[in-house]
Amino acid sequence: MIEIIRSRALFSTLAALALTAACGGRPKATARDLVVPASLCDLRNSRERFGGKTVQVEGWIYTDIERFLLSDGDCAVPLENPDPKPTGLGMEQLDTLVERAKMGTFNTGEEVFAVVVGRFLIEETKVGNDVWKPGFSPSRSVLLIQRVVSSAVAPMTANTKAAARSKCQQ
């Protein structure tokens, strides 16, 4: 008889746990929560497929007076920081590296390699207090930075993507 009571108690506990999990004890991940790995050429060539999704991409940062891009030598995607700008060690490190890499006032000349996660925008989207609107090429899309996974000084002229990636992981 004691075994039956223990079994029923165990069953009741397991059933309650299963019901809690199924009924919102923990929120389910949505497609928007998932991070999709992509290349910069994927984003450029398949805008509709990646539009609105959170993606992880890698490449060299390029800045000048008019542009803030992530480039891999073949393709580039405009970057934008939301307002407020993402915080954290990764973002701070990237800002420091980009600031040190500047040649003159703005141009960084693809000296800094970064792996970033962001939301790829292709249609009008509210971003903080602003609204981002697609412009003419090359600004028909933008990667809204959410976080910086890693970054390192690894000039494009002297590093392959694999070599630059390994410097990010050191």
161 phi, psi to nearest 5 deg = -60, -40
pLDDT score of 14 more than 50: no
Q: How do the residues of the chain divide into helix, strand and coil, expressed in percent and rounded to 5?
A: 35, 30, 35
Boundaries of every domain in the chain: 1-28, 35-168
The per-residue pLDDT for 147 is: 92
Closest CA to 35 of 57, 56, 59, 58: 56
pLDDT score of 139 more than 70: no
The per-residue pLDDT for 126 is: 84
Beta partners for 78?
A: 69
The pLDDT tens digits of the residues spanning 87-130 come to 888 888 888 888 888 776 666 777 889 999 999 999 988 887 88
Q: Read off the pTM.
A: 0.74
pLDDT band at 72 (very low <50, low <70, confident <90, very high): very high
Q: Which CATH class, in words, describes the domain spanning 35-168?
A: mainly beta
